[in-house]
Every structure is written in structure tokens, then in C-alpha cells.
Amino acid sequence: MYPNSAASKPFTFHFDPKGTLEATAKILRSSSEDHYAYERENIWFAGIGHKASLTLAPDGKTTTVSTGTNTVTTDTSPDVTVLTDTITTFIQQHNAANQKLFGFVGFNYSAYIRGIKFAPGRWPLVNIFVPRIYIEVSGDTIQIWNGNDDDIASMKLQLGELNAEAPSNSTFLPAHIALNQDRDEYFHAVQQSLSSITSGKYEKVIASRQVKILEHVDMIETLIRGRQRNTPKRTFILRQGGFEATGFSPELVMSVDNNHVITEPLAGTRSNVGTDEERQKLKEDLIRDPKEIVEHVVSVKEAIQEMDQCCRQGSVSVHDFMTIKNRGKVQHIGSSVHGELDPLKKAWDAFNTLFPSITASGIPKTSAIEAIANLEPHPRELYSGAVLLIDNCKVFEAALVLRSVFQDRNGQWVQAGAGIVEMSKEEREYTETCEKLQSFAPFIALKPSNK
């Protein structure tokens, strides 16, 4: 007999240890319910089906808490402290031993908590998701909590004979995406940014461009293909309430583990394709480029200042300063900033300070967030937001949502940006967005029905 929903011990299934990615994908395919999956240090954490959720509306005016058949929507207090308490209380109420919660935070949340006017999009500002079934895939073992007989049978049928060398589908239908569109519009955005920097409105801003995909995306197949050919910091996939995303995150916005806080500014980019000699030359060009060095250093400086706001005095330090991080077809200059959480603050307070990532918004952050609303024709939705993996209120991490494909009832798209500073050139920044898109867009798969 398989475990029922009240079981405290997981059902355990063993498989080829080389197949954790495909095993996770097959598990997700076993159900048509909403789901999340998140890869951290070669371990996959996944949740299937809705047990409970907290959702902050796209305009930030209401918060909806849903548990089973009970749904309650309330007006959201404009006080960020009250919202933080509401989110923290929800996490505490639904925290369970040996299981994790999931979630995402849209870019507009950064404007909302700072009192900046913004145009609401379609996606929620915050979603915290408590899964009906919780799964961990690690080494050669799959552990499944709270699955009923039908759930387990369906997963076992999908898993079958795992073969890590075989693709999940016999046919790969690549999406045809014109990555080099909107060149003139992006040049204009860079020129606007440079004018504002010269006039002293801000020091750095990330200007992004959105590229539409005409066909419906197979998110799970994209997860497999993209992860096989990328080396992200974190990988994720989500389908929740009609919103879908699959991404290969290059950095963490924040991690908190028992009051130890880390943020990882990644700024400065070059392609990472070609022969070993060609890639080494690109690496040397990156680390010697004055513009890229300036962009990175000002980002680290700002990260230190933000960490000082939420960490114990004197605890903030920089680690791995200006090291090269390989992220598949692109490489970046990276550093990490560490500190100990201020005893008077919650982990979500630190998130409110560090979100959005400096490397996806700009400096000063408030001015950059305001500028992005004027530079870009569409709300960013989840792009440059965060996907969350939550152990409890004191232990969770937020992965930056870049190198991602998005899909909802209105369409599907990819998006990429570049950091504009005083030394920026339009052509180079545009090329950087193309390099970033090229790192994952070729692996976006279409649904077979679109053939």
C-alpha cells in the first residue's frame, strides 16, 4: 500500500543517479496540476498540486489566502511591515518538517514596497505556494511525501525505466525567435539612460527588451534541454494559476540560513562560446574592460550598503571579489557579500531591502526602478524578480529570474537586459542582450501540437 495524505514518512523510489533532471521532469509530467521545481546544488525540490497559497494581487491592493476550499481576500495594508508579518505568519502556519514551500516575487513588488507608482501587470506581485505533494530528487533516490495511491502510480508509470542518456521526447521542436529585433528601440533606451546618467538622475540602470514567441512553449522539455546545456546557479520551473516560467538563474538575490545573509552581485558579461582559446580571450577581455569593471564595482559597493541596512553592524564582508562565473554560453564577473541578520529584523525584511537585485535594476535602486517604468513599454512581470525556495521563516533563498522563458494566457516571451553606466555604448549593450538570450533561447521547445 502506498502512503496516503496523512503519512509522515515518504515513499522512496531508486533510479539511475545520472538521471535527476529527467526524473524530475517525468514527475512533473505525471500530473496536470500546478507545480514548482527548484534545483539547488544538484538536488531537485518539487511540489505538485495546491494545498494552500498566498497571493498579492498585481496592483498590490488585495491579498488572497487560499486553503483547500476556503479562499479569503482582504485589502492589503499599505504598511510594508504589516505585509511582511502577513507573509511570515502564512509561512509559519504551513511550515512542515522535511518539506519546503515555493514562491515567486514579481519585479513590480520592488516599486510597491517603496511607494513608487507603477503600471500593474497580469502576474501577482507575490505568490507563496504550499504543495499538496512534496518531492525531493537527489543522488539515486526520489522521496515523495503525501502522495496518494493514484499519485504514486502515475509517477511510477512516468518514471518507468529511467535512461539519463535519452531525451525526454523523441522530437525536439525548437522555437523560432528573432533575437535581434527591436534594435533601434533598444538603442533609443540606452541613449535615454545615458542622458539621465549624465544629468545625475542615477548612476546605473538595467534596460531590458522583451522578445515575443509566437507558439506555445513546452516548459518541461525546455527545462531539460536548457539545463543540459547551461551551468546556472539555480534552475527552476513553475506553473501556478495560469502563469508559467522556466529559467536558468545566474545568481541569488539573497539567501538566509539561520541569520546568515548572502547576496551575489553579478555584473559584467561576455560570450562564452568558441574554442578554449577563444573563450579565454573573451574572459581576459571581460576582466580588463574598464566599463565592465566599473559596472561590477559600483554594484558591489551598493550591495554592501544595502547589507549594512539589514545586517548586524560590522558583520558585512565581501568574498570571492571579481571572480569569473561561467554560466553556459555567457560568463560574468561575480562577487558575494555576506553578513549576519540584524537581531531586530526578519529574513523577509532583508529580502525587502535586497530586492530587486542591483544587477537587474540599477543604482540608486529607487531611481533605477522609476526609470525602468519609463524606459520599457511593458511591465516586467516576473522577469528580474525572484523565485523562492522556503524552509521556514529563517531559512530561504531567492534566485534571480533571468535567462528565463515566460508564458501566460496572453502569450509567451523571453527578455534580457544590460547594465547602462556612463561608459556604455549602444552597440555593445545591445550585443550583450543578444548574448544573454542566445544562452538559452535555442533550447526553448514548442508543444508538439504546434508542428
Residues with a known catalytic role: 251
Element (H, E) at 157: helix 149-159
Q: Is omega for the bond preceding 364 within 30 degrees of 0, making it cis? A: yes
Contact 381, 122 (CB under 8 A): yes
| Cell of residue 78, nine digits | 499599505
Identify the DSSP state of 402. Answer: -
Amino acid identity at 263: T
Contact 221, 168 (CB under 8 A): yes
Positive or negative, the CA dihedral 409, 235, 247, 26 is negative
Strand partners, 243: 240
What does the alpha-carbon distance between residue 334 and residue 262 come to, in Å, rounded to a whole number? Answer: 13
Element (H, E) at 127: strand 126-138
What letters, b where the CB count within 10 A reaches 16 and e where it falls short, cover 85-99? ebbbebbeebbeeeb
Contact residues for 219 (Cβ-Cβ < 8 A; gap 6+):
237, 239, 244, 245, 246, 405, 407
